[in-house]
Amino acid sequence: MSTSAGAAGALPVVAPLDTRIDLETPEGVHLHLHPAGVVPRALAWVVDAVVRLAILWTLSMGLMAMGPGGQGLYLIGIFALLWLYPIVLEVLWNGQTLGKKMLGLRVVHADGTAVGWLASFTRNLLRTADMLPLGYAIGVVSSLFDPRSRRLGDMAAGTLVIHVPEEAALPAPPDVPARTAPVGLLRVEREALIGFAERHRQISHERQVELARLLPGLQRLPDHAALAHVLGTAAGLLGHGEPASPQSARPDTERSA
């Protein structure tokens, strides 16, 4: 891990340890994209190849017996499976073919939005260049050297192949009465309180109390009262229950003090 020192007193800049891409949408939503490497993408391609071969074999059993007309339809089927199969599925099936679905992958635009027709057409059309000279050699080399594991088609289309994030279960609300948050809390302070409430069950009780006592005015309260005050404020910010009024909350604080 490399660091670079800036001006005197500045914090060191730490190089990232993984390939995660952090984005923020115009609406202020934070996205974390994890580009897929060569191996999972190759396995997804193998699955799709097996699926297409199975469909072609099934079509050949019926169409080839129909004479010249059937042979023409068979050729159309080959074209559709080679070129239309990935494009149609990627656009209409949330950026996934059958192979990508099985491997937990998805094609998106570089800004994290759903892939469109033009981008999907471009990235799949340029497979002819990525396959040169043999066995996707150019595509593999470009993916290995690109920081986002993109082949030439993805670079030209402005797309990424990412791992589909697992859907995290919603954390249980704090098991304490909600409190009205103090007036004038900054956004970063509200996020810190909510983040603490969402993850407090993952840390020891002693550490929870230690973190709760970092807030001004809670140092003199008993352990359970300080922790309940912080979790109750977070519960109020999350909208769990009716926040207690300042008048009803003040006597508890005064008795605890």
Spatial separation of the C-alpha atoms in residues 106 and 124, rounded to whole Å: 14
Residue 208, in any domain of the structure: yes
Write down the mean pLDDT value for the chain.
80
The answer to whether residue 28 is domain-embedded is no
Rounded Cα–Cα distance for residues 184 and 253 (Å): 20
Q: Residue 117: pLDDT above 60?
A: yes
Structural domain count of the chain: 2
Same domain, 144 and 199: no
14 pLDDT tier (thresholds 50, 70, 90): very low
Write out the residue range of the structural domain in which residue 196 sits.
Answer: 187-252
Q: Which residue has the higher pLDDT, 201 or 139?
A: 139
Residue 224 maps to a domain? yes
Is the pLDDT at 161 greater than 50? The verdict is yes
Q: Are residues 149 and 194 in the same domain?
A: no
Q: What is the CA radius of gyration of the chain?
A: 28
Question: Tell me: the pLDDT tens digits for 168-192?
Answer: 555 555 677 777 877 777 888 788 8
97 versus 230: the higher-pLDDT residue is: 97
193 in the same domain as 157: no
Q: What is the structure's pLDDT at 172?
A: 57
On the question of pLDDT at 164 being above 80, the answer is yes
Same domain, 56 and 155: yes
Cis geometry, peptide bond prior to residue 165 (ω within 30 degrees of 0): no
Q: Are both 145 and 100 inside the same structural domain?
A: yes
Mean pLDDT calculated for residue range 219-223? 79
Task: Give me the pLDDT at residue 247, please.
Answer: 41
- Per residue in 5-39, is it b (16+ CB within 10 Å) or e — as a string? eeeeeeeeeeeeeeeebeeeeeeeeeeebebbebe
Q: Which residue has the higher pLDDT, 116 or 70?
A: 116
**Residue 128 vs residue 17, higher pLDDT:** 128
Q: What is the pLDDT of residue 157?
A: 96
What sign for the dihedral angle of Cα 187, 188, 193, 195?
A: positive
For residue 18, what pLDDT band results from cuts at 50, 70 and 90?
A: low
Which whole number is the average pLDDT over 88-93?
Answer: 96
In this prediction the pTM is 0.61
Give mean pLDDT, residues 38-67.
90
Within this chain, do residues 207 and 141 fall inside the same structural domain, yes or no? no
Query: Do 145 and 247 share a domain, yes or no?
Result: no
Query: Are residues 149 and 196 both part of a single domain?
Result: no
Higher pLDDT, 3 or 104: 104
Asked if the structure places residue 13 within a domain, the reply is no
